[in-house]
């Protein structure tokens, strides 16, 4: 009888651990849904904060799944659906309400291009999963990284944009949307939180971020988001130049 009780307790604990990553994914989706609601009501900074929380939860759910050994096909599909809400629909609605509601139909078109690119990016990721692939990199800009550009821009200019800046807001969506469906490699933040890696670089990075966000939050957000997007692109653009350089025999 006692052995049966112990077995039931272990099974319950195991089921709870298996469900834990899905809880993070569900909270990710909740943040995206809440962003849509507050963006419609005009609270753009809060909408940006909610997408930022969704990014953190998206990174955490994968780390937790690997830590407890519960990486499953269901979890993968559920994560992608949550990402489509939080990094596809939510940033598009936030950007439209923040800067594009007065430039119809162009604003509608650009926001749909963003949503279509995010959906394509997520579908391509699910369809081309290779266990032998280098997990340190994504092919194409990941949707959370693309969403980071939008929320950093909203933080930098949290009031509704004046007409002369409206065209710039289109680029805030169009450029990351295009990068989501390219073959450029972008660093995976999930590799930084691997339970098997050394924690010191991650701790230093998080401390630097904490200081930056505490002192200059808008600047820190822009440097982080725009830098994450720009560095791989500049590196890719510089590759043809490197190939053209003559090699010198030693």
CATH number of the domain encompassing residue 106:
1.20.120.1760
pLDDT score for 187:
84
Instruction: Tell me if 36 is assigned to some domain.
Output: yes
Q: Which residues are CB-neighbours of 172 under 8 A, at least 6 positions away?
A: 95, 99, 149, 150, 153
Instruction: Tell me if 248 is assigned to some domain.
Output: no
Do residues 55 and 147 lie in contact, with contact meaning Cβ atoms separated by under 8 Å? yes
| pLDDT one-digit tens code per residue, 45-86 | 999 999 999 999 998 888 788 777 777 888 889 999 999 999
Q: State the residue for tokens 């994560």.
A: 79
Q: Which is more confident, 70 or 186?
A: 186
Instruction: Tell me if 40 is assigned to some domain.
Output: yes
Domain of 55, in residue numbers: 2-237
Strand blocks (E) in 32-188:
137-139, 185-187
Instruction: Tell me if 100 is assigned to some domain.
Output: yes
Instruction: Tell me if 249 is assigned to some domain.
Output: no
Instruction: Tell me if 247 is assigned to some domain.
Output: no
Please state the domain count of the chain: 1
Question: Of 82, 97, 107, 8, which is closest to residue 48 (Cα–Cα)?
Answer: 97
**69 Ramachandran zone, left/alpha/beta (phi>0; psi -120 to 50):** left
Residue 109: pLDDT band with limits 50, 70, 90: very high
Q: Which is more confident, 173 or 250?
A: 173
pLDDT above 50 (res 244): no
Cis peptide bond prior to 157, omega within 30° of 0: no
| pLDDT one-digit tens code per residue, 25-41 | 999 999 999 999 999 99
d(CA 220, CA 211): 9
Q: pTM (2 decimals)?
A: 0.83
């Amino acid at each position: 009888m006692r052995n049966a009780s112990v077995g039931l307790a272990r099974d319950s604990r195991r089921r709870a651990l298996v469900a834990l990553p899905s809880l993070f994914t569900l909270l990710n989706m909740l943040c995206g849904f809440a962003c849509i609601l507050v963006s419609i009501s005009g609270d753009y900074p809060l909408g940006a904060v909610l997408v930022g929380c969704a990014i953190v939860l998206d990174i955490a759910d994968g780390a937790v799944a690997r830590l407890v050994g519960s990486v499953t096909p269901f979890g993968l599909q559920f994560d992608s659906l949550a990402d489509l809400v939080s990094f596809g629909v939510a940033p598009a609605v936030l950007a439209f309400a923040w800067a594009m509601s007065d430039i119809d139909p162009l604003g509608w078109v650009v926001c749909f291009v963003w949503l279509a690119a995010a959906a394509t990016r997520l579908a391509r990721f699910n369809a081309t999963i290779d266990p032998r692939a280098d997990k340190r990199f994504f092919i194409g800009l990941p949707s959370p990284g693309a969403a980071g550009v939008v929320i950093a821009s909203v933080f930098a200019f949290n009031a509704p944009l004046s007409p002369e800046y409206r065209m710039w807001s289109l680029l805030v969506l169009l450029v990351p949307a295009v990068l989501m469906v390219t073959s450029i490699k972008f660093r995976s933040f999930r590799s930084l939180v691997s339970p098997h890696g050394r924690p010191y670089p991650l701790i230093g990075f998080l401390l630097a971020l904490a200081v930056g966000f505490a002192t200059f939050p808008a600047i820190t957000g822009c440097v982080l988001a725009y830098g994450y997007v720009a560095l791989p692109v500049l590196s890719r653009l510089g590759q043809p130049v490197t190939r053209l350089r003559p090699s010198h025999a030693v």
